[in-house]
Amino acid sequence: MNTHFILRGFGRYAPERVMTNADLEKIVDTSDEWITTRTGIKERHIAADDQAASDMAYEAAKVALADAGMDASELTHIVCGTFTPDAMVPSTACRIQEKFGIKGQACVDIAAACSGFVYALETARGYIALNPDSKVLVVTSEVISRRMNWEDRTTCVLFGDAAGAAIVTAGEPGEGPEIKDIRLAADGSLGDLLTVNGGGSRYAYKLGETVGEEFFVQFQGREVFKHAVRNMCGICETVLKDNGMVKADVDVLIPHQANWRIIDAVGRKLEIPAERVFSNVDRYGNTSAASVPVALSEALDTEFVKKGDTVLIPTFGGGFTWAAALIQF
Ligand code: UT7
């Protein structure tokens, strides 16, 4: 029997504080004009000082559970995608479980940077394939503002904080949005092109040492850009071909929201008309693993995505990792 993987509910959360390009002009040598033309970003949300990844994940997860009409106690697994976890140990997934006041679920974090949501969805499919009674909370949450070098204009203007969530279970076709297929990929030989090294076991700090630039997100923008467009398009073509589909079968494209120029380039190469390519990067910036579920949930709320739509979701991030999900709404 074929298992059908159904998305039961979606949720998103963005912290209250909004930082505009005008605010950034006061911090670094940049301009609204540069940020807008190079990235499409106008503003981003920034977590409060006392907010960690699990706090935001909890808020998004509560919305997703309510949307699914489920209670947290029904969950069997919590899978959290993040590169800005609360801590090295315990996992952010365990912290989320603690916040819900539930016990016993399998809890695990996924480190796939901006591809975290689709990697986590595939992990959920694996759990469900092994045990069809599984009810998996897939949640991604990023407090990237903590890993921003606010003196580096080449990085600090690009990112924002947010969380997004979905519930995945087995079900019957037509019961809800169905994950038709997922492809995951990575190329570790290109890992040095996008890093947050500081605090890891290779770049550990000694007691009393202050952090250096390596504590923050560092990348070679142009290289990342090039690989992002190429690999997101490539993996989309693969997942379509493997499912006997062509580009024209895609109703809506929801790419990882890193930069409007990347989103636009992927849409053009895949020959998806601009009006069917979803973007909210102008209001969130790049929220890494959170970008896809935040975009998905907004696309549903605004009816950009409607029942019956075939939605293609390509992602790309540090690692490098990239992925594509094909969802039938
Ligand atoms: O989710 C995956 C992660 N995504 C990414 O890492 C982003 C991928 N890369 C990009 O989105 C783009 O490469 C950027 C937006 C980061 C940069 O755009 P670009 O068109 O590749 O610009 P550039 O890095 O080549 O910089 C062009 C100029 C430079 O000045 P010079 O050397 O030409 O004089 C930069 O110093 O723009 C300058 N610049 C800035 N100027 C004003 C860089 N950042 C800024 C800034 N404000 N914030």
Work out the mean pLDDT of the chain and round it to a whole number: 97
**In the chain, pLDDT over 90 holds for what percent of residues?**
99
Ligand 1 atom 11 nearest Cα: 259
pLDDT of 237 > 80? The answer is yes
Catalytic positions are 114, 256, 286
Structure letter (DSSP) for residue 18: E
Q: How far is 302 from 299, CA to CA, in rounded Å?
A: 5
The upper half-sphere exposure of residue 271, i.e. CA atoms within 13 Å in the direction of its Cβ, equals 5
CA of 7 to the centre of ligand 1 (A): 36
What pLDDT, on a 0 to 100 scale, did the predictor assign at position 298?
98
Ligand 1 atom 4 nearest Cα: 258
Q: How far is 66 from 213, CA to CA, in rounded Å?
A: 41
C-beta 34 within 6 A of ligand 1: yes
What pLDDT, on a 0 to 100 scale, did the predictor assign at position 113?
98
Structure letter (DSSP) for residue 111: -
Does an H or E element contain 239, and which?
helix 221-242
| Token output for 190 | 């290109």
What band does 2 get if pLDDT is binned at 50, 70 and 90? Answer: confident
pLDDT of 196 > 90? The answer is yes
pLDDT digits over 26-82, tens only? 999 999 999 999 999 999 999 999 999 999 999 999 999 999 999 999 999 999 999
**In the chain, pLDDT over 70 holds for what percent of residues?**
100
C-beta 219 within 6 A of ligand 1: yes
Complete domains list, the chain, with CATH? 4-176 (3.40.47.10), 179-328 (3.40.47.10)
pLDDT digits over 241-254, tens only? 999 999 999 999 99
pLDDT of 1 > 80? The answer is no
**229 and 221 Cβ atoms separated by less than 8 Å:** no
Residues in the chain: 329
